[in-house]
A and B are shown apart, each in its own frame.
Chain A
């Protein structure tokens, strides 16, 4: 037991004395969550907008007030002619132009319906779609407020572009669970596989083997520090997600932690399996990158929706642990699901972890060759 504890202590020394490991361990999670949470968001804040108001009536002014008080749009140009708008787009000053035709207010008052034209810079397609969506919903809401229940048909404002818009589709909701799945996998599997490969590479494994130390304590001693640190990491990412990125935590915290521990276990088993095969740190790193990082990024549903993948890839995505963990995370945090709805994913993860660990133990060598 003392030998085991000394082994774990030694592992902590390795971790805390290696700047690279520390950076991967603690720098990467924070950097990635921040990056995915804030920078890579497809939400819009204060987009530059040009207004071309041929109407200058009361309704046109009020619609503008609504748009600019929403927080999504900021007035950049007050154009007077179409060529002004075109020039602003060419120079990239504005992302969206709102055009009120002559007689907009009068039409709305007297005819009950009117048209607004939304012109968007579609060179940035996603932003354009979002902007048009936001603007459309604001204009509609205004029109509905103006509707008089007594009238035969209330006034309608029609925005020319129509796009489905879902105000709940916040980017952080998809990025944080994905990042968490990725980070935990990298920290647990990659670092574990490298640290055992390092013992082989530097020859210390040779000395360890010629000692009373058994295989199992070596393996457990290797993964225990990473288990603890990964869990700490998971909590940090969760905290960042909940408090900095305002992701809800609707489900049970206990279940969330339990599932996270299960996922870390799967990742560690994977790392041990890689380490039993790789002879050097570089090989371990390469195998980890090829078998963990890329498939997780591409196939887990983190960056690309699984539903839009070709069928063979959809099938393949089932063997990616992160896919199941992301489903569990979203289920618990955003939808507030319990184990009753998530048992399938939980069982899959547990089965994967056990199978990987058995495989790793089977391929563990007691000797050098």
Chain B
């Protein structure tokens, strides 16, 4: 039995579609990522799974329960962390945790072993109001509160948005620990680097699933020869690269430009260097790179919109 299953789920707000015939299957114990930019429909899918929204069409189950018919059962077994920090800011860390434990008819002591690792980091601040915590601490507390009733499925909507890099890393480490305990985790993120930390990811764009696969398979599926190109001035570099006859696509990627070529050729790098030097760029560095998930995603997007 899959832990989470969506079959042809569609949902629109007025004329704006937020989910278009989304079908996904998440196996029990899996760490599954929903990857996509803002507005891709990630939050809508979470709200349908947490029984907060009714889909216009399609069916979905969580832990074997139908999201419409058995919504009460689902509310007992999922742990949900909304995208916005949603704890009581005027309650202390400890009061928040105790409150959510009571709401789920359990106690902090009963499931303490599950949250121990996380809560011990919060313990020094347990009498501090939740509103006065740092962003990373807030996320840890929210995770604790979502875990306190020992859910079988954990649904985390952009848990690391607005959190510093170190806290993000810690957070993903915690997710790994929870996965090891057998909890199914569905997590969404707009950050492509976090996609690599999931077992399988679904790439979402404008309410549609572009592809579902493991991060490795996604990277390897990238069909073009890819190069990282660096020069002193990024903007003219991009313009000249786009004008290069053999260019398939080209976009800024951190401090370098990622260039994919329409044809593979052994001397491609050398020819490119010569071309750029001729255009007056210096110092030019051209190196072949392995595709990242972001490259795959960009490529899939380009296939969706051939005109762009």
A residues bordering B, Cβ < 8 Å?
Answer: 2-3, 5-7, 10, 13-14, 17-18, 202-204, 206-213, 366-369
In the complex, chain B residues 80-118 whose Cβ is within 8 Å of any chain A Cβ: 80, 82, 84-91, 95, 98-100, 102-105
**Looking at the complex, which one of A18, A213, A366, A369 makes contact with B103 (CB distance below 8 Å)?**
A213
B91 adjacent to A206 (CB under 8 Å):
no
B103 adjacent to A211 (CB under 8 Å):
yes
B76 adjacent to A212 (CB under 8 Å):
yes
The answer to whether the Cβ of B54 comes within 8 Å of any Cβ in the partner chain is: yes
B104 adjacent to A211 (CB under 8 Å):
yes
Known contacts A10-B88, A211-B100, A366-B71; 8 further A-B pairs (Cβ under 8 A) = A10-B95, A13-B91, A206-B82, A207-B86, A210-B52, A212-B72, A212-B105, A367-B54
Enumerate 22 A-B pairs (CB-CB under 8 Å) in ascending A order.
A2-B105, A5-B102, A6-B102, A7-B99, A17-B90, A202-B88, A202-B89, A203-B84, A204-B86, A206-B82, A207-B86, A210-B52, A210-B75, A210-B78, A210-B80, A211-B100, A212-B75, A213-B103, A367-B52, A368-B47, A369-B53, A369-B54
**Looking at the complex, which one of A6, A14, A207, A368 makes contact with B53 (CB distance below 8 Å)?**
A368
**Which of A13, A18, A207, A368 has most B Cβ within 10 Å?**
A207
Closest B residue, CB atoms, query A204: B86
The answer to whether the Cβ of B51 comes within 8 Å of any Cβ in the partner chain is: yes
Q: Contacts A17-B90, A202-B86, A367-B52: A209 and B103 contacting too (C-beta < 8 A)?
A: no
| Chain A residues within 8 Å of B86, by CB | 202-204, 206-207
Q: Contacts A10-B91, A211-B104: A203 and B82 contacting too (C-beta < 8 A)?
A: yes
The answer to whether the Cβ of B50 comes within 8 Å of any Cβ in the partner chain is: yes
**Looking at the complex, which one of B51, B89, B90 makes contact with A367 (CB distance below 8 Å)?**
B51
A207 adjacent to B52 (CB under 8 Å):
no
**Which of A2, A5, A211, A213 has most B Cβ within 10 Å?**
A211
B90 adjacent to A18 (CB under 8 Å):
yes
| Chain A residues within 8 Å of B87, by CB | 204, 207
Closest B residue, CB atoms, query A214: B72
A206 adjacent to B52 (CB under 8 Å):
yes
B95 adjacent to A13 (CB under 8 Å):
yes
How many pairs of A and B residues are in contact by the CB < 8 Å rule? 78
CA distance A367 to B50 in the complex (A): 10
Q: Contacts A13-B90, A14-B88: A208 and B103 contacting too (C-beta < 8 A)?
A: yes
CB distance from B71 to the nearest CB of A (A): 8
| Chain B residues within 8 Å of A202, by CB | 84, 86, 88-89
CA distance A43 to B47 in the complex (A): 62
CB distance from B1 to the nearest CB of A (A): 21
Q: Contacts A204-B88, A209-B75, A212-B75: A6 and B98 contacting too (C-beta < 8 A)?
A: yes
B88 adjacent to A210 (CB under 8 Å):
no
A3 adjacent to B103 (CB under 8 Å):
yes
CA distance A369 to B55 in the complex (A): 11
**Looking at the complex, which one of B51, B54, B71, B102 makes contact with A3 (CB distance below 8 Å)?**
B102
B102 adjacent to A2 (CB under 8 Å):
yes
| Chain B residues within 8 Å of A209, by CB | 51-52, 75
CA distance A149 to B52 in the complex (A): 89
CA distance A202 to B88 in the complex (A): 8
CB distance from A54 to the nearest CB of B (A): 73
CA distance A202 to B87 in the complex (A): 8
